[in-house]
Chain A
Amino acid sequence: MSRTKTEKDLALLAEKSSDNFSRRKFLGYAGLATALMAGAAACNPTNNLAPNDPVTGVSLGSGDVGILNYAYALEQLEAAFYVKVIMSQYSGITASETAGLTDIRDHEVAHREFFKNALGGMAIPALEFDFSSINFASRDSVLGTAKAFEDLGVSAYNGAGRLLVSPDYLVLAGKIVSVEARHAAYIRDILVRNSFADDSIVDAMGLDVTRKPTEVLPIAQTYIKTPIDASGLPFY
């Protein structure tokens, strides 16, 4: 199903919404769009994207699409964070750190845009973020958050791989998760030397952290203003 004009407008609206664009206003538009989209969705039984309800939030959908939207949401979070990190660099940042963090920003933007295009009309809209708990002027605050996001991302992909039915999507997730793990190792080590794979994240069997979507989303939601409805996701 191709995207309706309403869906496109909604996505555009979300993309353009900035910090001074109130969530209430956004949800007002979203609510209006929901009414319009409900009719369109009912016409097409293959559409497994629920309308974006202002109360239950943006639905990730179900099946493999749901898992890909889940990954898309996390990549949106990471990309938005690093865009801000590079725009407002912390005091004392070194040339090497600027280069590393700029690379990571570009990788996360590439992941985000890849999912957006791959999902096409099934993609969730651009999410709104709340980074008010992060002090972007502080190295410890920025790198501490980056570490949390990267380790969370690795654990999310590790935990979601088994929920994918398509071998192609599983390989794609694999292509991304190892890059997230490289990021995690880099961030950890510039924050605390030789913590790249320490015992807090790698267990006695040599296995990295894994988390279910139900464990990941409450952590991620702390930084995501837009409510996310993951009720359609496969689970284990």
Chain B
Amino acid sequence: MNFNNILETIEKVDPEVYDKLDTRRSAMKQFASFGSKVALAAIPLAIGSMFRKVYAGGTGTNDTVVEILNYALTLEYLEAEFYVNGLNAGNLIPNADARQVIQLISKHENAHVAFLKSAITAVGGTPVAKPTFDFTAGGGSGTGPFSNVFTNFETFLNVAQTFEDTGVRAYKGRAAELVGGGDYLTAALRIHSVEARHAARIRMMRKEFGSGIGNVKPWITLNQSGINSSLVQPSYNGEENTKQAGIEIVNINGTGITANAASEAFDEPLSKAQVLAIVGPFIKP
């Protein structure tokens, strides 16, 4: 399904469609004016409803939708290449059990990249190119603080956990802009919860390998990374929050809920600026 096919479909229903459009960009802006004439039932569900969202004029503009999708794509590129490199590194993954976990996560991240690319194309946008990554966090130098990331499994898991926990927070940080997004919002939520499953399993693996500092759990306690590196701290700052919608969760209604549990029970969002600052060292400018 490409954009021209969709326009041809529309033309059959609304012959004046091209009079109403001069550029593809303005097509997006004009879609609201010929709303419900077109049945998009033939279009595959996920892509179709994303398009319908734009067509019907939802909360965000098309530019916003494409921008958010490209933001997500950049993060998925980062994760996808990271796991592929890990799987390809000799003597990194210590056993078949661990390899099974990394393979499954890698499969999902690659699928997310493909899904987001097709979604961006379907709404008339252009997928951003994959950046050149530096998983040592050296900003392109290849000699950053995680220089042994593909030779030392502990370092690899530290970076994996940081990417997964950050990914969960990053999707959450854009949720408010997607209100009214229909299937498109649902798709973002469905990626978001998969990232959270990954994060939990990576954290369990870190505990099994005894590689963490403190008690690493599948959930985030306060603002603790359990990683002996200050570089990852911005991915955890703010997670110590125990107040939700103005309601204090610690000992709420006399239940004895601790600050640890109150912070673990809610994952916190990160803004785009915060996320870009976090991933900055992993991207060659």
Residues of A within 8 A of B (CB): 100, 103, 106-107, 109-111, 113-114, 116-118, 154, 157-159, 161-162, 164-168, 170-172, 174-186, 189, 193-194, 196-198, 202, 204-210, 236
Query: Given the complex, which residues of B lie within 8 Å of A209, measured CB to CB?
Result: 190
B59-88 residues with Cβ-Cβ distance < 8 A to A are none
Q: How far is the CA of A172 from the CA of B264 in the complex (A)?
A: 14
B18 to chain A: closest CB distance in Å?
32
A-B contact sample (7 more), CB < 8 A, given A161-B189, A162-B181: A106-B264, A158-B190, A179-B219, A185-B198, A189-B201, A207-B115, A210-B189
A197-B194 in contact given A110-B252, A171-B176 (Cβ < 8 Å) = yes
Q: Mark B160-188, 1 if CB is under 8 A from A, else 0.
A: 00000000100110011111111101110
Residues of B within 8 A of A (CB): 46, 97, 100-101, 104-105, 107-112, 114-115, 168, 171-172, 175-183, 185-187, 189-201, 204, 217-219, 244-245, 247, 249, 252-253, 255, 257-258, 261-262, 264-269
Whose C-beta in chain A lies nearest to the C-beta of B261? Answer: A106
Cross-chain contact of A178 among B109, B176, B179, B193 (Cβ < 8 A): B193
A19 to chain B: closest CB distance in Å?
21
Is A184 a contact partner of B111 (Cβ separation < 8 A)?
Answer: no
Is A181 a contact partner of B219 (Cβ separation < 8 A)?
Answer: no
Q: How far is the CA of A165 from the CA of B279 in the complex (A)?
A: 31
Q: How far is the CA of A196 from the CA of B103 in the complex (A)?
A: 13
A179-B267 in contact given A110-B261, A198-B104 (Cβ < 8 Å) = yes
Query: Given the complex, which residues of B lie within 8 Å of A103, measured CB to CB?
Result: 217, 219, 261, 264
Is B97 a contact partner of A172 (Cβ separation < 8 A)?
Answer: no
B232 to chain A: closest CB distance in Å?
18
Whose C-beta in chain B lies nearest to the C-beta of A109? Answer: B255
Is A174 a contact partner of B115 (Cβ separation < 8 A)?
Answer: no
Q: How far is the CA of A176 from the CA of B267 in the complex (A)?
A: 7
Q: How far is the CA of A171 from the CA of B185 in the complex (A)?
A: 12
A117-B197 in contact given A171-B269, A174-B189, A178-B172 (Cβ < 8 Å) = no
Q: How far is the CA of A66 from the CA of B200 in the complex (A)?
A: 30
Is A197 a contact partner of B252 (Cβ separation < 8 A)?
Answer: no
A49 to chain B: closest CB distance in Å?
19
Q: How far is the CA of A178 from the CA of B177 in the complex (A)?
A: 18
Is A161 a contact partner of B46 (Cβ separation < 8 A)?
Answer: no
Q: How far is the CA of A93 from the CA of B109 in the complex (A)?
A: 34
Query: Given the complex, which residues of B lie within 8 Å of A158, measured CB to CB?
Result: 186, 189-190, 193
CB-defined A-B contacts under 8 Å, sample of 13: A106-B257, A107-B264, A113-B249, A114-B247, A161-B186, A167-B175, A174-B172, A174-B175, A174-B192, A175-B267, A197-B194, A206-B194, A207-B115
Cross-chain contact of B247 among A106, A118, A159, A194 (Cβ < 8 A): A118
Query: Given the complex, which residues of B lie within 8 Å of A110, measured CB to CB?
Result: 249, 252, 255, 257, 261-262, 265-266
Whose C-beta in chain B lies nearest to the C-beta of A209? Answer: B190
Is B190 a contact partner of A182 (Cβ separation < 8 A)?
Answer: no
B117 to chain A: closest CB distance in Å?
11
Is B197 a contact partner of A208 (Cβ separation < 8 A)?
Answer: yes
